Structure 1
Amino acid sequence: MNGPANPDPTRHPRWCDRNGCTARGEHRSAPRGADTNRPEAAIVELALTQSLHPAAQPMVSLTGIGGGAAVTLTLSVGQATAARYKLAVLIDEARTDNRHRWS
């Protein structure tokens, strides 16, 4: 058998908030809100997560909260990186077409 049968949750990644890992079954960073300083249809929070399994890789958790419901999408770091670049392109396109509306 590779690795311990019961991983040690006290071995936290540097980004872990170190609170409740064992109860959740994963390490989790503090959530980071995508606050625009104006009313929005949904609240968006992002966090890093990682299973307590020794071979687990960090993941990016994106949670959208709106209309009384929450939906969480978990992405690999690779998917999140690709989405980052695609979002930048989409945002640039939106700004180009709407220069008169946004600063």
Structure 2
Amino acid sequence: MNAPTEHPRWCDRKTCDRLGVHASRVLPVNTGRTEETVLDVALVQSWLPASEPQLSMTVIDGVDFEQVLMSLGQGRVLAHRLRQLLDDAKGGAK
């Protein structure tokens, strides 16, 4: 498939051309300290007409990795659920 002539404003053209999909810059989920699991998130979208953007979350655990794609709606709900859990964690023991 030929590269599209128009790109979403978030599309990183170098990554897009290399992967063959619209792709944003990758944002690391970095706490500033060493973690056992590495997480990255990005936006992706097929070059096919009428495709919708999706959130991509890549989880790297040692040599194994998994990529999870979710709709923007699922991403919004996930963000809300994570905030709930983080607020619960601040509450301490019952």
Of residues 12, 21, 38, the one that matches 1:17 is 12
Asked whether the 8 Å contact 1:9–1:22 carries over to 2, the reply is no
Q: Secondary structure at the match of 2:78?
A: helix
Tell me the CA shift for residue 55 of structure 1: 0.2
**2:3 touches 2:20 (CA, 8 Å); kept in 1?**
no
2 CA distance for matches of 1:58 and 1:22?
17
Cα root mean square deviation, aligned: 1.6
Partner of 2:22: 27
C-alpha distance in structure 1 between counterparts of 2:92 and 2:70, whole Å: 30
Work out which of the two has the higher radius of gyration on C-alpha atoms and give 1 or 2: 1
| Identity across the alignment (%) | 37
Question: For residues 83 and 14 of structure 2, what CA distance do their matches in structure 1 show?
Answer: 33
Structure 2 distance, partners of 1:44, 1:25, is 22
When residues 32 and 20 of structure 1 are mapped into structure 2, their CA distance, relative to the original with a 3 A threshold, is closer
* Partner residue in 2 for 1:3: none
Dislocated runs of 4+, deviation >3 Å: none
Q: Which ranges of structure 1 fall in alignment gaps of 5 or more residues?
A: 1-5, 99-103
Q: Is the 8 A contact 1:9 1:21 kept in 2?
A: no
1:18 deviates by 0.6
CA deviation vs aligned residue, 1:6-30 (integer Å, no higher than 9, x gap) = 6752311000001143452310001
Three-state SS of the structure 1 residue aligned to 2:91 is helix
| Structure 2: stretches of 5+ with no match in the other structure | none
Q: Distance in 2 between matches of 1:22 and 1:37?
A: 31
Q: Shift of residue 54 of structure 1?
A: 1.6
Could you tell me the TM-score, scaled by structure 2's length? 0.89
Alignment coverage as a number of residue pairs? 93
Q: Helix, strand or coil: the match of 2:9?
A: coil
